[in-house]
Chains A and B, each alone.
Chain A
Amino acid sequence: MKKTITIIGLILTFLIIYFLQANFFSWFTIAGVKPNLFIILVLFISLFVGMKYGIVFGLIFGLFLDIVIGKTIEINTIMLTVVAILGGYFEKNFSKDSKITIMLMVIGSTFIFEIGSYVFSIIMLNTNIEILSFIRIILIEVLYNAILTVILYPFIQIIGYKIEDIYKGQKILTRYF
């Protein structure tokens, strides 16, 4: 029951983020650059719920974004799945208790997501290559995501550990004792 409620909660969070990205963040930008909260959400799922769930949610969310507003049904689907896999790797190798670590995870994931998305769009959509503009956008986006992580960190921590309890239960304890 608790697991079902959590899944519904995560889907609702995704929808809220979608509407925020499409409306609020279309004008609340840093020098015209929007943040990408989907990366933070998928990373959060992968870290606290589990990599398998992260991959499934990443695939579904990415597919939804590609269908609704994307030009091809690959870029977001593949890259959000990659973020989920990265989340699984981070979960195994780093602690989630530190704000700095979570921030670095978000920064790393944002870099990989955006570079991957851009390379994909160059290959598949014949996008013009503009390295300097791309670097400017990616740096601002990384900064924006990092600031949002600092703001959201207490919620990520509280909700994250509650969800982790539901999904991983005692598993977490065996790792430390």
Chain B
Amino acid sequence: MYNKKKKQIVGIVISVIILIVIVIMSNIKIDNLSYVQSFANFFVMPVQNGLTYLKNWISGNNQFFTDVSKLREENENLKQENSKLEQDLREFEIIKSENETLKEYVNLKDKYTEYTTIPAYVINKDISNYNSCIVINVGSNDGIKAGMAVISDKGLVGQIISVTSNTAKVQTIVDTSSSISCTLTASRDTIIARGTLEANNRLTATYIPTEASIIEGDTIETSGLGGVYPKGVIVGTVTKVVNTKNIVDRYAHIKTAVDFSKIETVLVITQ
């Protein structure tokens, strides 16, 4: 009985460790080797420190440890100072974050002066792997209606699909059922940008005119066709053009201007 319980606990611990390892491994970038470095340091540094201490001891540089009581007192003072500094730092971080949010609002307002807008916070995000909706903290009481466009300081976010008195649901442009009419900023050719399952910060550009010249780095903005999104709002940048045998079928990857995993504040265009 005891052994069975012990085995169960060991099983759970191993499963949790495996899960954490899988999650970490699947989310880190290969070129980011600082983790490997830290891991190696974890093993090497204690030995290295020990050897350095031994070397100092042999060469007579061990006088740090002579006045232990003085060191203890100094340590206490430093600890107190450190905790005070940590508290100050925390307060500073809070003020900094408030300042950034306010700045974001001001920037947003300045950038889109031609539109009447209402600022809002993102209060909920989608829980599914296939859809990408967000919920914001303004609703019909603030004059929000379904079909209104939503933007952020970086670019286009999506459109309102349903409203309650105090909240509104926004279908983002990266949602798999979203498609928007866009224009290539340089050549003014019109394309359709669709949400994709592959990544939550990427769109697929389709219906690219055969004569259109589209290259990596091209900026994409809304065309204003369709009546939902206003003209000229930045959507993203072309990161890859995929040429197929038939030029009609070629498509491109667009990296969205907005980082949907970090989005916190948005503006709803009411007029």
Residues of A at the B interface (CB closer than 8 Å) are 18, 21-22, 25-34, 36, 65, 68-71, 114, 117-118, 121, 125-128, 130, 133-134, 137, 141, 144, 147-148, 150-151, 154
Beta-carbon contact of A69 and B133 below 8 Å: yes
Tell whether A126 pairs with B130 under 8 Å between CB atoms, given A22-B125, A151-B16. Answer: no
Beta-carbon contact of B15 and A137 below 8 Å: no
> Residues 84-120 of chain B: 1 if any A CB is under 8 Å from the residue's CB, otherwise 0?
0000000000000000000000000000000000000
Beta-carbon contact of A130 and B127 below 8 Å: no
Beta-carbon contact of A69 and B169 below 8 Å: yes
Please name all residues of chain A whose beta carbon is closer than 8 Å to the beta carbon of B62 when the two chains form the complex.
Answer: none
B265 close to chain A: CB less than 8 A: no
Task: Report the 6 A-B pairs with minimum CB-CB distance, sorted nearest first.
Answer: A133-B197, A31-B26, A125-B177, A21-B127, A127-B177, A127-B176
Beta-carbon contact of B26 and A141 below 8 Å: no
Q: Which residue of A lies closest to B196 (CB)?
A: A130
Beta-carbon contact of A130 and B197 below 8 Å: yes
Beta-carbon contact of B15 and A68 below 8 Å: no
Beta-carbon contact of B130 and A117 below 8 Å: yes
State the CA gap A33–B198 with chains docked (Å).
10
Q: Which residue of A lies closest to B200 (CB)?
A: A32
Contacts A32-B200, A130-B176, A133-B198 known; list 14 others, CB within 8 Å: A22-B125, A25-B127, A26-B127, A27-B261, A32-B26, A32-B27, A34-B128, A65-B127, A69-B127, A126-B177, A128-B179, A134-B197, A147-B22, A150-B12
Please name all residues of chain B whose beta carbon is closer than 8 Å to the beta carbon of A117 when the two chains form the complex.
Answer: 128, 130
Kindly provide the distance from the CB of B141 to the nearest chain A CB, expressed in whole angstroms: 18
Beta-carbon contact of B194 and A128 below 8 Å: yes
Beta-carbon contact of A118 and B130 below 8 Å: yes
Please name all residues of chain B whose beta carbon is closer than 8 Å to the beta carbon of A26 when the two chains form the complex.
Answer: 125, 127, 261
Beta-carbon contact of A69 and B135 below 8 Å: yes
B interface: dominant SS: mixed
- From 194 to 208 in chain B, residues with beta carbon under 8 angstroms from any chain A beta carbon are 194-200, 204
Please name all residues of chain A whose beta carbon is closer than 8 Å to the beta carbon of B248 when the two chains form the complex.
Answer: none
Tell whether A71 pairs with B161 under 8 Å between CB atoms, given A30-B22, A117-B130. Answer: yes
Beta-carbon contact of A34 and B195 below 8 Å: no
- From 114 to 161 in chain B, residues with beta carbon under 8 angstroms from any chain A beta carbon are 124-131, 133, 135, 161
B82 close to chain A: CB less than 8 A: no
- From 1 to 27 in chain B, residues with beta carbon under 8 angstroms from any chain A beta carbon are 8, 11-12, 15-16, 18-19, 22-23, 26-27
Interface CB pairs A-B, < 8 A, 18: A22-B127, A27-B261, A32-B199, A34-B127, A34-B128, A65-B127, A68-B135, A69-B125, A69-B169, A71-B161, A117-B128, A127-B130, A128-B195, A130-B198, A133-B196, A150-B12, A151-B19, A154-B8
B219 close to chain A: CB less than 8 A: no
Beta-carbon contact of B26 and A30 below 8 Å: yes
Please name all residues of chain A whose beta carbon is closer than 8 Å to the beta carbon of B129 when the two chains form the complex.
Answer: 33-34, 114, 137, 141
Please name all residues of chain A whose beta carbon is closer than 8 Å to the beta carbon of B256 when the two chains form the complex.
Answer: none
State the CA gap A31–B29 with chains docked (Å).
11
Q: Which residue of A lies closest to B206 (CB)?
A: A128
Please name all residues of chain B whose beta carbon is closer than 8 Å to the beta carbon of A28 when the two chains form the complex.
Answer: 23
Cross-chain contact of A71 among B15, B125, B171, B195 (Cβ < 8 A): B171
Please name all residues of chain A whose beta carbon is closer than 8 Å to the beta carbon of B204 when the two chains form the complex.
Answer: 128
Kindly provide the distance from the CB of A52 to the nearest chain B CB, expressed in whole angstroms: 26
State the CA gap A125–B171 with chains docked (Å).
12
